[in-house]
A and B are shown apart, each in its own frame.
Chain A
Amino acid sequence: MSPLPDERGHFGRFGGRFMPEALIGPLDELEQAWQDAMADDAFVADFERLLREYAGVPSLLYDATRFSEVVGARVLLKREDLNHTGAHKIRNVLGQALLTQRMGKRRVIAETGAGQHGVAAATAAAYLGLECRVYMGEVDTERQALNVARMKMLGAEVVSVTSGSRTLKDAINEAIREWVATVDHTAYLFGTAAGPHPFPAMVRSFTRGIGDETRAQCLELFGRLPDAALACVGGGSNAIGMFTAFIDDPNVRLYGFEPGGEGFETGRHAATITAGAVGVLHGTRSFLLQDDEGQTLESHSISAGLDYPGVGPEHAWLAETGRATYRPITDAQAMDAMVVLAKTEGIIPAIESAHALAGAYDVARELGPDATLAICLSGRGDKDMVTAATWFDLVEVADVVDDVVDDAVDDTAVDPR
């Protein structure tokens, strides 16, 4: 277990709590409940049983030999795409939803960008019989309509957020605004390893199984640790989940890949650590995209799940201390890697995860052909087929998918019950 954060949630100069006083008491209660739960063998056993029996965890560590040939080093894929709901996010929401139940609350709210966290939250809520409302930027509800339909089918209410830039950051603002008023009976299932303390540490505690499993599986399969662990970074929940097990292994390099969007020169990107500045957003101090007066800038990425102008505070700390290296990957690089994995391995990755796949090429060149790279394949690409079909000009496919999406949305416009 890494020694950070300190008791007030600081990772060096990052992290902390920048929230209205009204939420400080509830955040203290949450922290206490989480620490009590993690010290309770029954809670931990319940969480692990749920992951195993319901979520399909531990996920496989897969030796991707054909993709490895293209990359130029041995690539091991941590198959989080095979988890129930199709991404690593299920780990975090099952942990937080179980904690909600333990705290005696019956209602959860969540924000979502791509919809993956929203779907995971709606899933956990359905499974545990909790009422669920998901805040989603209006722009995202349009580009991820299928996930809106999934959430509704699972019984969640989806609120389309029309304030600000109408994307993930505004969905978070709206969820925080609601939470101040409903915190006595509602838990906020935060979707990434950011936000005010204890969220970065708590989310890490629920996602760190990714790296713990990878480490054990790699030792079991190959008798050694990987030379590097790689993951994509938006807010950073899959990356911190992947990195945590290796923090104290000095010979395992850590690489996070940020959304470079259309490239820095265009200003249309979301590479927070590479191109942002230190500031405070959504309750935590970290790197963020902001103008010279501290106003948040809109981020851009082809991947809705990485399209966030901030990043978790522990990543800021790992970057500043040099323990982890963060690099930007453009939309085009990610889409190329997506199709390469599909054609070499028969695995269609989420565009988010494709950023980490694309980053592997340079790492392989730097570490040489004998290197072993463990990559977190954080999610599957089904949700991204409209985007991919459009990008690769698979016009007929896009038409078909659009129709499917329209039908799905129409069908769930009425109460599914």
Chain B
Amino acid sequence: MTAGVAPVLARTRGEGRAALVGYLPAGFPTVDASVDLIRAMVDGGVDLVEVGLPYSDPVMDGPTIQAAADAALKGGTRIDDVFRVVEAAAALVPTLVMTYWNPVERYGVDRFTARLREAGGAGLITPDLIPDEAAEWIAAADEHHLDKVFLVAPSSTQARLEMTAAHCRGFVYATAVMGVTGAREQASSAAPELVRRTRAVTALPIGVGLGVSNGQQAAAVAHYADAVIVGSALVRAAIEADDPAGAVAAVADLTRDLARGVHGEL
């Protein structure tokens, strides 16, 4: 039985700081290289890892993550490769998989869940699956003691915040802006209010994602959230590097900057 991400979030809360969560897609730029990038992210100081499962129609993702997912799929990344990456990451820190729903349904919810657990994965973040449609996943996650991370948004009604948070285990994922993934210049003005509203309905930790791209922004979000989630900025750092070694260094550098942000060192 995995303990999920809860112990790490309890520890960081005990340290009086937010956790840093780093996202990278499996298979980008290759399966092995994605493991190297995740190791760099852990070396740089992420507390939790999100492994993205590349999907052909990622409607929640902006151009950066789309490009990485496209490259991973063109490179032949399969779901079993994703589990290989999860296994490597989970040996370092607790690791969630972020996935659109259709690949899970097609693979078979029970089979996917069992394989995820075998690989040491902590659970799933499901950007296009709302609890209303998630009966099969909720049952499988409960049986295998996996974390279920659903999203809340600035447009969520009070009733939906309560219902969604009640179905989460691990943490609640608050999407900071009305929009898709991608680094943004401006910090979200909607996020603090969303976190406040969510806290009123749950004792679970709350992670904030979408738009955080540097240590300063991470520090700002860390003031009101329990976890700061960074994805596109890390992917972009890897994309813009000249070679694999450069990508590893760039991801490690950015992660260190982000980590200083959540540790209150900026």
User: Does A21 lie within 8 Å of B56, measured CB to CB?
Assistant: no
In chain A, positions 266-291 with a C-beta closer than 8 Å to chain B are 277, 279-283, 290
Please report the C-alpha to C-alpha distance between residue A262 and residue B128 in the assembled complex, in whole angstroms.
33
Q: Complex formed: what's the CA distance from A21 to B63 in Å?
A: 20
B150 & A279 in contact (Cβ 8 Å cutoff): no
B66: Cβ under 8 A from any A Cβ: yes
Q: B153 at the A/B interface (Cβ < 8 Å)?
A: yes
B105 contacts partner chain A, Cβ-Cβ < 8 Å? yes
B2 at interface by CB-CB < 8 Å: no
Q: Please report the C-alpha to C-alpha distance between residue A164 and residue B106 in the assembled complex, in whole angstroms.
A: 20
How far in angstroms is the closest Cβ of chain B from A20?
A: 5
Q: Is B7 an interface residue (CB 8 A)?
A: no
Closest B residue, CB atoms, query A288 = B102
B179 on interface, CB distance cutoff 8 Å: yes
A294 within 8 A of B: yes
B151 — which chain A residues lie within 8 A by C-beta?
20-22
Secondary structure of the A contact surface, majority rule: mixed
Are A279 and B153 in contact (CB-based, < 8 A)? Answer: no
Chain B residues within an 8 Å CB radius of A282:
57, 59
Chain A residue at minimum C-beta to C-beta distance from B63: A163
Who on chain A is nearest to B177 by CB? Answer: A181
Measured CA separation A25–B157 after assembly (Å): 7
A152 to chain B, nearest CB (A): 25
Which chain B positions have C-beta within 8 A of A295? Answer: 55-56, 73, 103
Q: How far is the CA of A295 from the CA of B164 in the complex (A)?
A: 27
Q: Mark B97-121, 1 if CB is under 8 A from A, else 0.
A: 0000111111100000000000000
User: Which residue of chain A is the closest to B62 with respect to CB atoms?
Assistant: A177
Are the CB atoms of B178 and A22 closer together than 8 Å? yes
Q: Are B102 and A279 in contact (CB under 8 A)?
A: yes
Measured between beta carbons, the chain A residues less than 8 angstroms from B150 are 21
Q: Tell me if A43 counts as interface (CB < 8 A to partner B).
A: no
Q: Are A280 and B55 in contact (CB-based, < 8 A)?
A: no
Chain B positions within 8 Å of A281 at CB level: 57, 102
**Complex: chain B residue closest to A20, CB-CB:** B60
Beta-carbon contact of B56 and A296 below 8 Å:
yes
Q: Interface residue count for A (Cβ, 8 Å)? A: 36
Could you tell me how many residues of chain B have their Cβ less than 8 Å away from some Cβ of chain A?
Answer: 42
Chain A residues closer than 8 Å to B57, beta-carbon distance? 164, 169-170, 173, 281-282, 296
Q: Which residues of B contact A164 (CB under 8 A)?
A: 56-57, 70
- From A169, A177, A184, residue with most partner B Cβ within 10 Å: A177
Does any Cβ of B come within 8 Å of A18's Cβ?
Answer: yes
| Shortest Cβ distance from residue A28 to the other chain B in the assembled complex, whole angstroms | 8
Closest to A174 in B: B59
A280 and B79 contacting across the interface, CB-CB below 8 Å: no
Given known A22-B175, A24-B130, contact A294–B155 (CB-CB < 8 A): no
B160 close to A (CB within 8 Å): yes
A415 close to chain B: CB less than 8 A: no
Given A164-B70, A293-B78, answer yes or no on A280-B101 (Cβ-Cβ < 8 Å).
Answer: yes
Query: A16-51 CB contact bits vs B (8 Å, 1 = yes)?
Result: 111111111110100000000000000000000000
The answer to whether A176 has its CB under 8 Å from any CB of chain B is yes
In the complex the two chains form, is B175's CB within 8 Å of A19's CB? no
Contact B156 A293 (CB under 8 A): no
**What is the distance, in angstroms, from B26's C-beta to the closest C-beta of chain A?**
12
| Cβ–Cβ contact B105 & A294, under 8 A | yes
Name the A residues within 8 Å of B180 (CB-CB): 177, 180-181
Q: Is the CB of B103 within 8 A of A18?
A: no
Which of B56, B101, B106 has the most chain A CB within a 10 Å cutoff? B56
Q: Does B52 sit at the interface, judged by CB under 8 A?
A: no
Q: By the criterion CB–CB under 8 Å, are A18 and B157 in contact?
A: no
Question: Given the complex, which residues of B lie within 8 Å of A290, measured CB to CB?
Answer: 102, 106
Chain B residues lying within 8 Å of A28, measured Cβ to Cβ, are 157
Enumerate chain A residues within 8 angstroms of B94, measured Cβ to Cβ: none
Tell me which residues across on chain A come within 8 A of B78, comparing CB atoms.
293
A232 smallest CB distance to B (angstroms): 24
Q: Which residue of A lies closest to B66 (CB)?
A: A163
B153-A21 in contact (CB<8A): yes
Provide the bound-state CA to CA distance between A19 and B180, in Å.
12
- When distances are taken between beta carbons in the complex, the residues of chain A under 8 Å from B129 are 18
On whether A183 and B102 interact (CB within 8 A), knowing A18-B128, A163-B66, the answer reads: no
Whether B106 lies near A294 (C-beta < 8 A) is yes
Is B15 part of the binding interface, using a Cβ–Cβ cutoff of 8 Å? Answer: no
A26: chain B residues within 8 A (beta carbon): 155
Please, how many angstroms separate the alpha-carbon atoms of A183 and B178 in the complex?
9
Q: Is B106 in contact with A18, judged by CB distance below 8 angstroms?
A: no
> Lowest 8 A-B CB distances belong to which pairs?
A294-B106, A22-B153, A294-B103, A25-B155, A181-B179, A294-B102, A21-B151, A295-B56
**Measuring CB to CB, which residues of chain B are less than 8 angstroms from any residue of chain A?**
55-63, 66, 70, 73, 78-79, 101-107, 127-130, 132-133, 150-157, 160, 164, 175, 177-180
Return 21 A-B CB contacts under 8 Å, by A number.
A19-B59, A20-B151, A21-B152, A21-B160, A22-B156, A23-B155, A25-B157, A173-B59, A177-B180, A181-B177, A181-B179, A277-B106, A280-B101, A280-B102, A290-B102, A292-B106, A293-B79, A293-B106, A294-B55, A294-B103, A295-B55
Assuming A8-B132, A25-B157, what are 19 further A-B pairs, CB within 8 angstroms? Answer: A18-B129, A18-B133, A21-B152, A22-B175, A25-B153, A25-B155, A169-B57, A170-B57, A173-B57, A180-B60, A181-B178, A181-B179, A184-B178, A277-B106, A279-B102, A294-B103, A295-B55, A295-B56, A296-B102
Interface residues of A (CB under 8 A from B): 8, 16-26, 28, 163-164, 169-170, 173, 176-177, 180-181, 183-184, 277, 279-283, 290, 292-296
